[in-house]
Amino acid sequence: MQEDNYRHRGMRQNLVQVLKDKGISDVNVLNAIGIVPRHVFLESSFIEYAYQDRPFPIGSGQTISQPFTVAMQSQLLSVEKGMKVLEIGTGSGYQACVLAQMGAKVFTVERQRNLYNKTKPLLAEFPYHIKTFLGDGNKGLPMFKPFDRVIITAAAPEIPQDLVNQLRTGGIMVIPLNDETDAMKQKMLRLTKQEDGSLRREEFGECKFVPMLKDVAND
Ligand code: SAH
């Protein structure tokens, strides 16, 4: 893994301040962002970009989400220590590490084999509880249900019913759902599973993610 020195730590503290100024208030989220070295998830020549509040290409046509988006989704998820969290869209692995640093047991699924092959060994270098899977996240991980939380980090055309089924009663799903009127945009939703299996729905503004696709791809 690339080294993490005082200069990186300084840049991370600046990023934490930027996120606070943009309205992120959950101290557990801010602490985790202050600890997880985002630069190790980018190619070493892009270190200058690692602590700016921007998304960044990670290869295979995918991006590492903008830090604000990671912080926002983590905050909406209300993670508590020891919770089982299912993440769809491992990508670089950064979001998984932030959740794990917050104390979650993370189960993360990626559909692109290249990314999975690159990210799995990197995640294994951290002292976190993160299990990485290659598969279609629409189907979730039925063997490991129920989950306390589900986070989707790609733009979903609909709410995947398999994932709702794998969420415990009282559990929370955070999902960027495609806007019916504009396919290029999503609404960030927080869904809370009720006793009767229905979902309480709250909306948290617009966002922009790469699409959630079906099946495994070999690129
Ligand atoms: N959480 C990531 C950001 C991921 S970008 C991070 O912190 O870097 C979205 C990711 O979702 C991409 O890697 C994409 O390949 C993946 N993806 C898209 N559709 C998927 C699906 N059906 N199942 C699993 N992963 C999917």
Residue 30: predicted pLDDT: 98
Rounded to a whole number, what is the distance in angstroms from the first to the last CA of the chain? 23
Residue type at 130? I
For residue 136 and ligand 1, the question of a CB distance below 6 A is answered with yes
* Catalytic-role residue among 60, 65, 74, 78: 65
Q: What percent of the chain has pLDDT over 90?
A: 85
If you take atom 19 of ligand 1, which residue's CA is the nearest one? Answer: 212
What pTM was computed for the model?
0.97
Cα–Cα distances in Å, from 217 out to 105, 112, 155, 178?
26, 5, 17, 22
Annotation marks residue 65 as catalytic: yes
Distance from C-alpha of 143 to C-alpha of 125, rounded to nearest angstrom: 25
What confidence tens digit (pLDDT) does each residue in 165-186 have?
A: 999 999 999 999 999 888 789 9
| Alpha-carbon dihedral sign for residues 60, 66, 67, 72 | negative
For residue range 1-51, what is the model confidence (pLDDT) as tens digits?
A: 888 999 999 999 999 999 999 999 999 999 999 999 999 999 877 888 899
Q: What per-residue string of b and e applies to 48-69 under the rule 16 or more CB within 10 Å gives b?
A: ebbbeeebbebeeebbbbbbbb
* DSSP 8-state secondary structure symbol assigned to residue 111: S
Contact between 66 and 213 under an 8 Å Cβ cutoff? The reply is no
175: tokens are 């999902």
Whole-angstrom distance, CA of residue 143 vs CA of residue 192: 22
Residue position matching structure tokens 């299990």: 131
Atom of ligand 1 nearest to the CA of 212: 19
- Determine the atom of ligand 1 nearest the C-alpha atom of 87: 1
Tell me the per-residue pLDDT of 113-152, one tens digit each, with 9 for 90 and over.
Answer: 999 999 999 999 999 999 999 999 999 999 999 999 999 9
Which of 58, 112, 128, 166 gets mutated to test ligand 1 (max ligand atoms within 8 A of its CB)? 112
Tell whether ligand 1 has an atom less than 6 A from the beta carbon of residue 212.
Answer: yes
* Contact 172 CB / ligand 1 (< 6 Å): no
Average pLDDT along the chain = 95
